[in-house]
Amino acid sequence: MSNGYRVAVVGATGQVGTLLLKLLRERNFPAGEIVAFASERSVGRELGGGLVVQGLGEQAVRGFDLAIFSAGGSTSGEWAPRFAEAGAVVVDNSSRWRMNEDVPLVVAEVNADALQAHRGIVANPNCSTMQMVVALKPLHDEAGIERLVISTYQAVSGTGKRAVDELLDQSHALLHEQAISTPESYAHQIAFNALPHAGSFAAGDDHTDEERKLINETRKILGDPSIAISATCVRVPVVNGHSEAVNVQTRRELSPERARELLDAAPGVTVLDDPDAALYPLAIDATGRDDVFVGRIRRDAGHERALDLWIVADNLRKGAATNAVQLAELLAERGLLGARADAAATPAA
Ligand SMILES: NC(=O)c1ccc[n+]([C@@H]2O[C@H](COP(=O)([O-])OP(=O)(O)OC[C@H]3O[C@@H](n4cnc5c(N)ncnc54)[C@H](OP(=O)(O)O)[C@@H]3O)[C@@H](O)[C@H]2O)c1
């Protein structure tokens, strides 16, 4: 790697992709060349910094050390294995590969060692899971988590750029006493509303896929399938920044004071917890920041071995782009990039 790694960013025109390009530059990732990919709609578009959007194709996927995907599950399903077969390590933001046994699901501060076992594809967790496990890891290590009861308050940017436009258009229309267009991003109006329907319901399932991801991915990342998890994911009319009320029941006694101490020392966590001064994490303050913010740390009034927490993070940053770039950095530091091109690559698919 004398001249830097050759990096593909797939979904480079999207919310997450745009931020990925910015973070790769800001954090000085040792890239010799970055190639931006998006759908056929965007081919030829100039993205600044000399990048021109390319289309995906058999030849175009060759010669990369790293490919970071944020272009949805079907694009990842089709193209991630092809990049991996051609020698790249893929860091994938979609849900397509996360629960595959051969694919490590990694949060930089929580289970970085899982990267070692990758077979060409590494998955970046769901945004609401990501921020939660960064805060839960030190508590789990200290006292063992037995059960979680989670309610999320998820921002509209988690659905994509079109959903943000829809929230702003609806808000503008309603404030001007105009009728809104038929909702497209969600089943109902999102402006001035709260939808107990983040994600979608698969046939016959009474939980949304977002709730299932929170349950399954948390167990996989913390490496403990026995944790009992109850989740309700709610979409709220917040542009960016997911908030979560999390009730944490531990196997061993854990005081709020000790939890605060552990969280204060945890990597990637900032504690904001002074209710008398109205200090607690807020979505608008977390936006543009890479940390996970935790506050309202208190004993559950109904259970002597449970705590309540309020956890907030920028879903586009730590929930997606920041962690993806952290994983790329870890792969580079550990010599796990660039070693695959000559090897008989065994793709995770
Ligand atoms: N938003 C979040 O908080 C968040 C958090 C974690 C993970 N993710 C995941 O990250 C991914 C992107 O999210 P986003 O919010 O950035 O969405 P977005 O703003 O809608 O962007 C989607 C990107 O995917 C590209 N794309 C769509 N179809 C494609 C195709 N057939 N081939 C190649 N590229 C294609 C789009 O290109 P065009 O511009 O050409 O259409 C665009 O660059 C999703 O998988 C999402 O689940 C998002």
Tens digit of pLDDT for each residue in 11-55? Answer: 999 999 999 999 999 999 999 999 999 999 999 999 988 999 999
AA identity, residue 26: E
Q: State the virtual CA torsion across 287, 242, 188, 166 in degrees, nearest 10.
A: 20
Q: What is the pLDDT of residues 296-310, one digit of tens each?
A: 999 999 999 999 999
**Ligand 1 atom 28: the closest Cα is on which residue?**
39
Q: Where are the beta strands (DSSP E) in the chain?
A: 5-10, 31-37, 46-48, 51-52, 66-69, 89-92, 121-123, 145-154, 228-235, 242-250, 269-271, 292-299, 306-313
258-263 contacts, C-beta under 8 A, 24 or more apart: 258/142, 259/139, 259/297, 259/307, 259/309, 260/297, 262/138, 262/139, 262/142, 263/135, 263/138, 263/139, 263/294, 263/297
Pocket of ligand 1 (CB under 6 A): 11-17, 38-39, 41-42, 56, 70-72, 75, 93-94, 127, 157-158, 160-161, 315-316, 319-320
Average pLDDT, the chain: 96
Residues 6+ apart with CB under 8 A from 144: 250, 251, 252
Per-residue tokens: 7: 């990096």
**Ligand 1 atom 12: the closest Cα is on which residue?**
70
| Angle of the 256-265 helix axis to the 127-143 helix axis, nearest 10 | 120
- Best residue for ligand 1 mutational test, from 9, 10, 18, 39 (most atoms within 8 Å of Cβ): 39
CA distance 144 to 59: 49
Q: Which of 130, 88, 136, 140 is nearest to 108 (CA)?
A: 130
CA distance 100 to 116: 16
AA identity, residue 17: G
AA identity, residue 337: L
- Best residue for ligand 1 mutational test, from 9, 10, 13, 16 (most atoms within 8 Å of Cβ): 16
Q: What is the pLDDT of residues 144-183, one digit of tens each?
A: 999 999 999 999 999 999 999 999 999 999 999 999 999 9
Query: Residues 101-130: what's their mean pLDDT?
Result: 97
